[in-house]
């Protein structure tokens, strides 16, 4: 047996070879697994959001048609071929607005919660404007004051990926005025219209820019003209019906 240099005869040498693989620590392995799980969760949530938007987009035109809104008084606000690019969710005290469901007026006294996702493939600083109008003022049979302006918010920004938190970065251009059909009236239809603001600059709109805050100043508002003037693009729609308190469902 030929001995190795520096190694005494009869001693079995320990030979150390350089490792050709890199090994991760326990913490690094855990972090990677956690990141992969988070990615899968986000992907699943996005798939659910896309599916919900598709369902909402399919139901919206039918609901507007059945309510005689499009075609009808809202046809110049909402094109017949309109498809939402984000789902506008509106809720009063956790009761969701769902394409024409009925609310008694007392449930709408306080401004609702809003949620929506920022659209795919738009700038991260994109902001949105919400308009709430009544096409049935003062009554559906005599809508001479349509569209009655109930609410205008600008500078809305979704703060979470799921759109559950939406920040109002500016003062309302029109403060919220709750729906209030008279007891003699049939239920009114109320449209929530969500617009994308021009990229790169927000809207600086005050109460007087939309006609004023007083009751009579809110009459005969034209959302389509307002949108065109300020370069707004319609991206989401929801709507509800409201009946006067102590009035049976009609």
**Per-residue confidence of the chain (250 residues) as pLDDT tens digits?**
444 455 455 555 444 444 444 566 666 666 777 777 666 665 666 667 788 899 999 999 999 999 999 999 999 999 989 999 999 999 999 999 999 999 999 999 999 999 999 998 898 889 999 999 999 999 999 999 999 999 999 999 998 766 688 999 999 999 999 999 999 999 999 999 999 999 877 788 999 999 999 999 999 999 999 999 999 999 999 999 999 998 545 4
H-type alpha helices, the chain: 26-66, 223-229
In a domain, 26, yes or no: no
Tally of domains within the chain: 1
Q: What is the CATH number of the domain that holds 137?
A: 3.90.280.10
By residue range, what is the domain housing residue 201?
Answer: 43-243
Sign of the Cα pseudo-torsion (152, 65, 98, 120, in order): negative
Residue 32 covered by a domain: no
Residue 119, in any domain of the structure? yes
Q: What are phi and psi of 155, to 5 degrees?
A: 70, 30
Domain for residue 6, yes or no?
Answer: no
DSSP notation for 176-245: -------TTSPPEEEEEEEEEPPTT------GGGGT-SSTGGGTT--HHHHHHHTT-EEEEEEEEEEE-T
pTM: 0.81
**CA–CA dist 16, 97 (Å, integer):** 71
Per the domain annotation, does 16 fall within a domain? no
The reply to whether 21 falls in a domain is no
Residue 23: inside a domain: no
Distance separating alpha carbons of residues 103 and 96, to the nearest angstrom: 10
Coil, helix or strand at residue 39:
helix
Asked if residue 114 is part of any domain, the answer here is: yes
């Amino acid at each position: 047996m030929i001995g190795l240099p520096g190694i005494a005869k009869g001693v079995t040498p320990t030979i150390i070879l350089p490792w050709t693989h890199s090994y991760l620590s326990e913490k690094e392995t855990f972090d990677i697994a956690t990141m992969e799980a988070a990615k899968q969760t986000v992907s699943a949530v996005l798939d659910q959001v896309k599916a919900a938007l598709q369902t909402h987009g399919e139901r919206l035109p039918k609901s507007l048609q059945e309510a005689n809104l499009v075609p009808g008084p809202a046809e110049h606000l909402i094109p017949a071929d309109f498809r939402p690019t984000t789902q506008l969710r509106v809720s009063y005290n956790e009761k969701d607005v769902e394409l024409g469901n009925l609310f008694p007026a007392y449930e709408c006294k306080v401004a609702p919660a809003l949620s929506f996702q920022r659209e795919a493939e738009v700038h991260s600083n994109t902001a949105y404007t919400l308009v709430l109008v009544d096409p049935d003022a003062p009554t559906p049979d005599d809508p001479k004051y349509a569209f009655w302006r109930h609410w205008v918010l600008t500078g809305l920004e979704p703060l979470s990926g799921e759109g559950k938190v939406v920040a109002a970065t500016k003062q309302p251009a029109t403060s919220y005025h709750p729906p209030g059909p008279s007891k003699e009236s049939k239920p009114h239809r109320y449209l929530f219209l969500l617009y994308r603001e021009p990229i790169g600059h927000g809207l600086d709109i005050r109460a007087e820019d939309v006609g004023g805050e007083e009751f009579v100043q809110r009459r005969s508002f034209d959302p389509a003209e307002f949108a065109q003037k300020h370069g707004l693009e319609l991206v989401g729609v929801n709507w509800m019906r409201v009946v006067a308190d102590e009035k049976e469902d009609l």
